[in-house]
Structure 1
Amino acid sequence: MAFTLESPAFSDGGRIPDKYARDGQNVSPPLVWKDAPAGTRSFVLVVEDPDAPSGLFRHWGVYDIAAERDRLPEGTTAGAKTESLGHGVNDFGNPHYDGPQPPKGHGVHHYHFRLAALDTETLHCDGKAKVGDMLEEARPHIIAEAELVGTYENG
Protein backbone atom coordinates (compact mmCIF):
# COMPACT_ATOMS: atom_id res chain seq x y z
CA MET A 1 0.00 0.00 0.00
CA ALA A 2 1.07 3.56 -0.69
CA PHE A 3 1.91 6.01 2.10
CA THR A 4 -1.01 8.48 2.06
CA LEU A 5 -2.05 11.68 3.82
CA GLU A 6 -5.68 12.80 4.10
CA SER A 7 -7.89 15.24 5.98
CA PRO A 8 -11.49 14.69 7.04
CA ALA A 9 -11.90 18.48 6.56
CA PHE A 10 -11.16 18.67 2.80
CA SER A 11 -10.34 16.37 -0.10
CA ASP A 12 -7.11 16.31 -2.09
CA GLY A 13 -7.37 19.25 -4.49
CA GLY A 14 -10.40 20.58 -2.59
CA ARG A 15 -11.02 23.92 -0.93
CA ILE A 16 -9.73 24.36 2.61
CA PRO A 17 -12.63 25.52 4.83
CA ASP A 18 -12.50 29.10 6.15
CA LYS A 19 -12.16 27.78 9.72
CA TYR A 20 -8.55 26.77 8.93
CA ALA A 21 -7.61 30.08 7.27
CA ARG A 22 -5.56 32.70 9.07
CA ASP A 23 -8.48 35.14 8.91
CA GLY A 24 -10.84 32.39 10.16
CA GLN A 25 -10.22 30.49 13.38
CA ASN A 26 -6.61 29.80 12.30
CA VAL A 27 -6.64 26.25 13.65
CA SER A 28 -4.77 23.48 11.89
CA PRO A 29 -6.96 20.97 10.05
CA PRO A 30 -7.14 17.36 11.21
CA LEU A 31 -4.71 15.12 9.31
CA VAL A 32 -4.64 11.33 9.06
CA TRP A 33 -2.07 9.09 7.38
CA LYS A 34 -1.67 5.40 6.69
CA ASP A 35 0.77 2.83 5.38
CA ALA A 36 3.98 4.47 6.60
CA PRO A 37 6.97 2.46 5.39
CA ALA A 38 8.84 -0.05 7.52
CA GLY A 39 11.72 1.61 9.33
CA THR A 40 9.81 4.83 10.10
CA ARG A 41 11.10 6.26 13.38
CA SER A 42 9.38 9.68 13.24
CA PHE A 43 7.52 12.06 10.92
CA VAL A 44 7.90 15.67 9.87
CA LEU A 45 5.11 17.78 8.38
CA VAL A 46 5.31 21.01 6.41
CA VAL A 47 2.65 23.21 4.82
CA GLU A 48 3.82 25.34 1.90
CA ASP A 49 2.19 27.76 -0.54
CA PRO A 50 4.16 27.92 -3.82
CA ASP A 51 1.68 30.49 -5.25
CA ALA A 52 2.61 33.30 -2.83
CA PRO A 53 3.65 36.57 -4.56
CA SER A 54 7.10 36.38 -2.92
CA GLY A 55 7.62 32.73 -3.89
CA LEU A 56 7.40 29.63 -1.72
CA PHE A 57 5.82 30.56 1.64
CA ARG A 58 5.90 28.15 4.58
CA HIS A 59 2.87 28.18 6.89
CA TRP A 60 3.71 25.36 9.31
CA GLY A 61 6.40 22.90 10.23
CA VAL A 62 6.11 20.12 12.81
CA TYR A 63 8.86 17.65 13.64
CA ASP A 64 9.54 14.78 16.06
CA ILE A 65 6.08 13.30 15.44
CA ALA A 66 6.30 9.82 16.98
CA ALA A 67 6.36 6.86 14.59
CA GLU A 68 3.38 5.29 16.41
CA ARG A 69 1.12 8.18 15.44
CA ASP A 70 -1.17 8.12 12.45
CA ARG A 71 -2.85 11.52 12.86
CA LEU A 72 -2.63 15.09 14.06
CA PRO A 73 -5.90 16.34 15.53
CA GLU A 74 -7.51 19.62 14.58
CA GLY A 75 -5.87 22.52 16.38
CA THR A 76 -2.44 20.96 16.95
CA THR A 77 -0.33 23.93 18.06
CA ALA A 78 2.93 24.70 19.77
CA GLY A 79 2.77 24.63 23.54
CA ALA A 80 -0.19 22.30 23.89
CA LYS A 81 0.26 20.56 27.24
CA THR A 82 -0.47 17.12 25.75
CA GLU A 83 1.98 17.48 22.88
CA SER A 84 5.76 17.26 22.80
CA LEU A 85 6.06 18.12 19.11
CA GLY A 86 8.71 20.43 17.75
CA HIS A 87 7.52 23.37 15.67
CA GLY A 88 9.60 25.26 13.15
CA VAL A 89 9.24 29.02 12.80
CA ASN A 90 7.01 29.73 9.79
CA ASP A 91 7.37 32.58 7.30
CA PHE A 92 5.01 34.74 9.38
CA GLY A 93 7.66 34.44 12.13
CA ASN A 94 5.56 32.16 14.36
CA PRO A 95 6.38 28.70 15.81
CA HIS A 96 2.86 27.40 15.13
CA TYR A 97 0.30 26.84 12.38
CA ASP A 98 -0.82 29.89 10.43
CA GLY A 99 -3.45 29.07 7.84
CA PRO A 100 -4.01 30.28 4.30
CA GLN A 101 -4.04 34.04 3.81
CA PRO A 102 -3.46 34.80 0.12
CA PRO A 103 -3.70 38.45 -0.95
CA LYS A 104 -7.24 39.47 -1.94
CA GLY A 105 -7.77 39.07 -5.67
CA HIS A 106 -4.56 37.03 -6.13
CA GLY A 107 -6.47 33.95 -7.29
CA VAL A 108 -6.46 30.40 -6.02
CA HIS A 109 -3.45 29.33 -3.97
CA HIS A 110 -2.42 25.69 -3.50
CA TYR A 111 -1.37 24.61 -0.01
CA HIS A 112 0.85 21.53 0.02
CA PHE A 113 0.66 19.49 3.23
CA ARG A 114 3.73 17.23 2.99
CA LEU A 115 4.34 14.48 5.50
CA ALA A 116 7.72 12.73 5.47
CA ALA A 117 8.56 9.45 7.19
CA LEU A 118 12.05 9.63 8.69
CA ASP A 119 14.62 7.04 9.72
CA THR A 120 15.50 8.99 12.88
CA GLU A 121 13.54 9.53 16.10
CA THR A 122 14.45 13.17 16.49
CA LEU A 123 15.66 16.16 14.55
CA HIS A 124 18.10 18.20 16.55
CA CYS A 125 16.41 21.54 15.96
CA ASP A 126 16.01 24.23 18.59
CA GLY A 127 12.83 26.19 19.16
CA LYS A 128 14.05 28.96 16.87
CA ALA A 129 14.69 26.83 13.76
CA LYS A 130 12.88 28.09 10.67
CA VAL A 131 10.75 25.58 8.77
CA GLY A 132 13.29 25.60 5.92
CA ASP A 133 16.14 24.76 8.32
CA MET A 134 14.01 22.00 9.85
CA LEU A 135 13.49 20.56 6.36
CA GLU A 136 17.21 20.65 5.62
CA GLU A 137 17.85 18.73 8.84
CA ALA A 138 15.18 16.17 7.85
CA ARG A 139 16.16 15.75 4.18
CA PRO A 140 18.89 13.07 4.62
CA HIS A 141 16.50 11.03 6.80
CA ILE A 142 13.44 10.95 4.49
CA ILE A 143 12.41 7.43 3.48
CA ALA A 144 8.96 8.28 2.05
CA GLU A 145 6.67 11.27 1.53
CA ALA A 146 2.91 11.70 1.28
CA GLU A 147 1.17 14.86 0.12
CA LEU A 148 -2.25 16.44 0.37
CA VAL A 149 -3.05 19.64 -1.52
CA GLY A 150 -5.79 22.06 -0.49
CA THR A 151 -6.80 25.28 -2.21
CA TYR A 152 -7.84 28.65 -0.86
CA GLU A 153 -8.72 32.02 -2.35
CA ASN A 154 -9.47 35.41 -0.80
CA GLY A 155 -12.07 37.08 -3.03
Structure 2
Amino acid sequence: MLAFGISIIHIFRYILFILFKGARMKISSDSFRGGDAIDARHAMKAIRGGQNISPHLVISGVPAGAKTLAVACIDRHPMAQGWVHWMAVNLPADTAFISEGASGKSMPRGSLELGNTFGAQGYGGPQPPRGSGRHAYEFTVYAVSEILRVADRRMGESELLELMRGKILANDSITGYFENK
Protein backbone atom coordinates (compact mmCIF):
# COMPACT_ATOMS: atom_id res chain seq x y z
CA MET A 1 0.00 0.00 0.00
CA LEU A 2 2.84 2.38 0.83
CA ALA A 3 4.49 1.77 -2.53
CA PHE A 4 1.12 2.39 -4.20
CA GLY A 5 0.66 5.63 -2.23
CA ILE A 6 4.11 6.88 -3.19
CA SER A 7 3.55 6.11 -6.85
CA ILE A 8 0.21 7.96 -6.78
CA ILE A 9 1.98 11.00 -5.29
CA HIS A 10 4.65 10.84 -7.99
CA ILE A 11 2.00 10.54 -10.68
CA PHE A 12 0.06 13.46 -9.18
CA ARG A 13 3.20 15.63 -9.06
CA TYR A 14 4.02 14.69 -12.65
CA ILE A 15 0.51 15.64 -13.80
CA LEU A 16 0.77 18.98 -11.98
CA PHE A 17 4.19 19.56 -13.54
CA ILE A 18 2.81 18.86 -17.04
CA LEU A 19 -0.29 21.03 -16.48
CA PHE A 20 1.51 24.04 -15.08
CA LYS A 21 4.85 23.84 -16.88
CA GLY A 22 3.42 25.75 -19.84
CA ALA A 23 1.55 28.22 -17.65
CA ARG A 24 4.55 30.52 -17.33
CA MET A 25 3.80 33.94 -18.78
CA LYS A 26 5.24 34.33 -22.27
CA ILE A 27 5.58 37.04 -24.91
CA SER A 28 6.36 36.25 -28.53
CA SER A 29 5.87 37.94 -31.87
CA ASP A 30 4.77 37.07 -35.38
CA SER A 31 6.68 40.17 -36.58
CA PHE A 32 10.15 38.96 -35.49
CA ARG A 33 11.71 36.04 -33.65
CA GLY A 34 13.49 36.57 -30.36
CA GLY A 35 17.19 37.16 -31.01
CA ASP A 36 16.63 38.03 -34.67
CA ALA A 37 16.59 41.32 -36.57
CA ILE A 38 13.50 43.53 -36.50
CA ASP A 39 12.24 44.32 -40.00
CA ALA A 40 12.75 47.91 -41.21
CA ARG A 41 8.97 48.46 -41.50
CA HIS A 42 8.92 48.65 -37.68
CA ALA A 43 11.59 51.39 -37.64
CA MET A 44 10.90 55.13 -37.62
CA LYS A 45 10.13 56.71 -40.99
CA ALA A 46 13.51 58.49 -41.01
CA ILE A 47 15.11 55.04 -41.49
CA ARG A 48 15.22 53.64 -45.02
CA GLY A 49 12.18 51.35 -45.33
CA GLY A 50 10.79 52.55 -41.99
CA GLN A 51 7.02 52.80 -41.58
CA ASN A 52 6.88 53.05 -37.76
CA ILE A 53 4.50 50.09 -37.51
CA SER A 54 4.27 48.57 -34.03
CA PRO A 55 4.99 44.82 -34.08
CA HIS A 56 2.53 42.03 -33.47
CA LEU A 57 2.88 40.66 -29.93
CA VAL A 58 1.43 37.41 -28.57
CA ILE A 59 0.82 37.08 -24.81
CA SER A 60 0.11 33.80 -23.03
CA GLY A 61 0.22 32.29 -19.57
CA VAL A 62 -1.12 35.36 -17.76
CA PRO A 63 -1.45 34.35 -14.10
CA ALA A 64 -4.76 34.27 -12.27
CA GLY A 65 -5.20 37.43 -10.26
CA ALA A 66 -3.89 39.73 -12.97
CA LYS A 67 -6.24 42.67 -13.52
CA THR A 68 -4.30 44.31 -16.34
CA LEU A 69 -1.20 44.05 -18.48
CA ALA A 70 1.51 46.58 -19.25
CA VAL A 71 3.85 46.50 -22.25
CA ALA A 72 7.18 48.28 -22.70
CA CYS A 73 9.79 48.43 -25.47
CA ILE A 74 13.17 49.74 -24.35
CA ASP A 75 16.42 50.13 -26.33
CA ARG A 76 19.07 48.36 -24.22
CA HIS A 77 22.11 49.60 -26.19
CA PRO A 78 24.47 51.45 -23.78
CA MET A 79 24.33 54.56 -25.98
CA ALA A 80 20.51 54.64 -25.77
CA GLN A 81 20.45 54.77 -21.96
CA GLY A 82 17.05 53.10 -21.65
CA TRP A 83 15.36 54.92 -24.53
CA VAL A 84 11.61 54.27 -24.30
CA HIS A 85 10.12 53.26 -27.65
CA TRP A 86 6.72 52.18 -26.36
CA MET A 87 4.85 51.83 -23.09
CA ALA A 88 1.19 50.98 -22.63
CA VAL A 89 -0.70 50.15 -19.45
CA ASN A 90 -4.10 48.84 -18.39
CA LEU A 91 -4.49 46.38 -21.24
CA PRO A 92 -7.16 43.82 -20.27
CA ALA A 93 -5.63 40.79 -18.54
CA ASP A 94 -7.24 38.52 -21.14
CA THR A 95 -5.39 40.19 -24.02
CA ALA A 96 -3.97 37.36 -26.14
CA PHE A 97 -2.28 39.56 -28.73
CA ILE A 98 -1.62 43.12 -29.86
CA SER A 99 -2.08 43.40 -33.62
CA GLU A 100 0.72 44.65 -35.84
CA GLY A 101 0.18 48.38 -36.33
CA ALA A 102 -2.22 48.66 -33.35
CA SER A 103 -0.40 51.55 -31.65
CA GLY A 104 -2.46 54.72 -31.94
CA LYS A 105 -5.22 52.92 -33.84
CA SER A 106 -6.53 49.68 -32.42
CA MET A 107 -5.02 48.93 -29.05
CA PRO A 108 -6.99 46.58 -26.78
CA ARG A 109 -9.97 48.23 -25.06
CA GLY A 110 -9.15 50.26 -21.97
CA SER A 111 -5.43 50.44 -22.66
CA LEU A 112 -3.51 53.67 -22.26
CA GLU A 113 -0.42 54.38 -24.37
CA LEU A 114 2.19 56.47 -22.61
CA GLY A 115 4.77 58.85 -24.01
CA ASN A 116 8.00 57.65 -25.57
CA THR A 117 11.42 59.30 -25.48
CA PHE A 118 10.80 60.79 -28.94
CA GLY A 119 8.19 62.99 -27.22
CA ALA A 120 5.11 61.36 -28.75
CA GLN A 121 2.49 59.01 -27.37
CA GLY A 122 2.48 55.41 -28.48
CA TYR A 123 4.99 53.39 -30.46
CA GLY A 124 8.16 54.96 -31.83
CA GLY A 125 10.20 52.40 -33.73
CA PRO A 126 13.95 51.87 -33.88
CA GLN A 127 16.01 54.84 -35.06
CA PRO A 128 19.53 54.25 -33.79
CA PRO A 129 22.26 56.65 -34.90
CA ARG A 130 23.96 55.54 -38.10
CA GLY A 131 27.06 53.47 -37.37
CA SER A 132 26.25 52.98 -33.66
CA GLY A 133 26.07 49.20 -34.04
CA ARG A 134 23.35 46.73 -33.33
CA HIS A 135 20.75 47.91 -30.80
CA ALA A 136 18.73 45.50 -28.64
CA TYR A 137 15.01 46.32 -28.41
CA GLU A 138 13.50 44.56 -25.42
CA PHE A 139 9.72 44.09 -25.46
CA THR A 140 8.39 43.19 -22.01
CA VAL A 141 4.87 42.32 -20.91
CA TYR A 142 3.91 42.60 -17.23
CA ALA A 143 0.91 40.99 -15.51
CA VAL A 144 -0.29 43.58 -13.00
CA SER A 145 -2.54 42.94 -9.98
CA GLU A 146 -4.51 46.19 -10.29
CA ILE A 147 -5.48 48.95 -12.69
CA LEU A 148 -2.71 51.54 -12.78
CA ARG A 149 -3.58 55.15 -11.99
CA VAL A 150 -1.49 57.27 -14.37
CA ALA A 151 -1.22 60.95 -13.44
CA ASP A 152 1.16 61.89 -16.26
CA ARG A 153 1.61 59.97 -19.50
CA ARG A 154 5.18 61.30 -19.81
CA MET A 155 7.26 58.88 -17.81
CA GLY A 156 10.34 56.77 -18.26
CA GLU A 157 10.85 53.10 -17.60
CA SER A 158 11.91 53.71 -13.99
CA GLU A 159 8.69 55.64 -13.28
CA LEU A 160 6.61 52.86 -14.82
CA LEU A 161 8.40 50.25 -12.71
CA GLU A 162 7.84 52.40 -9.61
CA LEU A 163 4.13 52.71 -10.48
CA MET A 164 3.93 48.91 -10.71
CA ARG A 165 6.09 48.16 -7.65
CA GLY A 166 4.52 45.40 -5.56
CA LYS A 167 1.86 44.83 -8.23
CA ILE A 168 3.78 42.76 -10.82
CA LEU A 169 2.64 39.13 -10.73
CA ALA A 170 4.74 37.92 -13.69
CA ASN A 171 6.61 39.22 -16.71
CA ASP A 172 8.43 38.03 -19.80
CA SER A 173 10.57 39.66 -22.49
CA ILE A 174 11.53 39.15 -26.10
CA THR A 175 14.44 40.99 -27.71
CA GLY A 176 14.87 41.91 -31.35
CA TYR A 177 17.79 43.75 -32.94
CA PHE A 178 18.09 46.64 -35.37
CA GLU A 179 21.12 48.35 -36.86
CA ASN A 180 21.27 51.55 -38.92
CA LYS A 181 24.25 50.90 -41.21
2:86 alignment partner in structure 1: 60
| Partner-residue secondary structure (3-state), 2:161 | helix
Q: Determine which structure has the larger helix proportion and give its number.
A: 2
Q: Go from structure 1 to structure 2 and tell me whether the alpha carbon gap of 1:138 and 1:78 turns closer, same or farther (over 3 Å shift).
A: farther
1:69 to 2:69 alignment: no
One-letter amino acid matched to 2:27:
L
Range with greater deviation from structure 2 (21-30 or 79-88):
79-88
Range with greater deviation from structure 2 (49-58 or 33-42):
49-58
CA-based RMSD? 1.8
Q: Give the number of aligned pairs.
A: 154
Question: Could you tell me how far 1:40 is from its partner in structure 2?
Answer: 1.3
1:15 to 2:37 alignment: yes
1:125 to 2:150 alignment: yes
Q: TM-score, normalised by structure 1?
A: 0.91
CA–CA separation in structure 1 for the residues paired with 2:121 and 2:78: 20
CA–CA separation in structure 2 for the residues paired with 1:16 and 1:52: 19
Q: Go from structure 1 to structure 2 and tell me whether the alpha carbon gap of 1:150 and 1:46 turns closer, same or farther (over 3 Å shift).
A: same
1:46 and 1:131 in contact (8 A); partners too: no
1:63-142 correspondence to structure 2 within 5 Å: 63-78=89-104, 80=106, 83-120=109-146, 122-126=147-151, 128-132=153-157, 133-142=159-168
Larger Rg: 2
Question: Could you tell me how far 1:72 is from its partner in structure 2?
Answer: 0.6
1:125 and 1:134 in contact (8 A); partners too: no
| Partner-residue secondary structure (3-state), 1:53 | helix
CA–CA separation in structure 2 for the residues paired with 1:112 and 1:100: 11
2:98 and 2:107 in contact (8 A); partners too: no
Question: Could you tell me how far 1:44 is from its partner in structure 2?
Answer: 0.3
Deviations 1:7-53 (A, max 9, x none): 01110101100110113110100000111112111100000012152
CA–CA separation in structure 2 for the residues paired with 1:118 and 1:67: 8
Deviations 1:97-153 (A, max 9, x none): 000111101110000000000111x11004533143233212321010110100000
**Of the two structures, which has the highest relative contact order with CA contacts closer than 8 Å and spacing of 6 or more?**
1
One-letter amino acid matched to 2:170:
A
Q: Which runs of 5+ in 2 are unaligned?
A: 1-21
CA–CA separation in structure 2 for the residues paired with 1:99 and 1:48: 10
Question: Could you tell me how far 1:84 is from its partner in structure 2?
Answer: 3.2
Q: TM-score, normalised by structure 2?
A: 0.79
Range with greater deviation from structure 2 (56-65 or 130-139):
130-139
